[in-house]
Amino acid sequence: ETGVTQTPRHLVMGMTNKKSLKCEQHLGHNAMYWYKQSAKKPLELMFVYNFKEQTENNSVPSRFSPECPNSSHLFLHLHTLQPEDSALYLCASSQDSNPRGSYEQYFGPGTRLTVT
């Protein structure tokens, strides 16, 4: 988790709230990712940004809106969520997201989100 920070670490929100998750990487990487981790399910890739440009949206509902103002910061804006959206949201970064690159991803500690 060193080098990638996420805030808040825990978030409880109602279905009509608007909130944002923040991720910051201090590793000089150019690619950033959002993942959703639910119990008993594989890690789900949500979004990929490479050099601030979104390169992948893995069929994520529009109630999740990412923003990447620069290569060090990534946000996930949340609006009108459902209880099934409760999960651990992980941010990661890598040197880049070149499909032929072998760069490993470095993860933040995650935000534990509970939607009531």
CA–CA gap between residue 1 and residue 15 (Å, rounded): 30
Binding of another protein at residue 45 (CB under 8 A)?
yes
Q: Does 92 bind another protein (CB under 8 A)?
A: yes
User: 15 or 43: whose CB is closer to another protein?
Assistant: 43
Token pair, residue 29, equals: 């990487």
One DSSP character per residue, 73-102 reads: EEEEEEES--GGG-EEEEEEEES---TT--
Is residue 64 part of the contact set for another protein (CB under 8 A)?
no
Residue placing its CB nearer to another protein in the complex, 81 or 108? 108
| 66 contributes a contact to another protein by CB under 8 A | no
User: Does the protein bind another protein through residue 53 (CB under 8 A)?
Assistant: no
Q: CB under 8 Å to 73, separation ≥6 — which residues?
A: 22, 23, 24
- Find the Cα–Cα–Cα–Cα dihedral 44, 114, 3, 60, rounded to 10°: 30
Name the minimum Å distance from CB 90 to another protein.
Answer: 5
Options 28, 101, 114, 116; binder of another protein; rule CB under 8 A: 101
Please select the residue that binds another protein; options are 56, 70, 77, 114, rule is CB under 8 A: 56
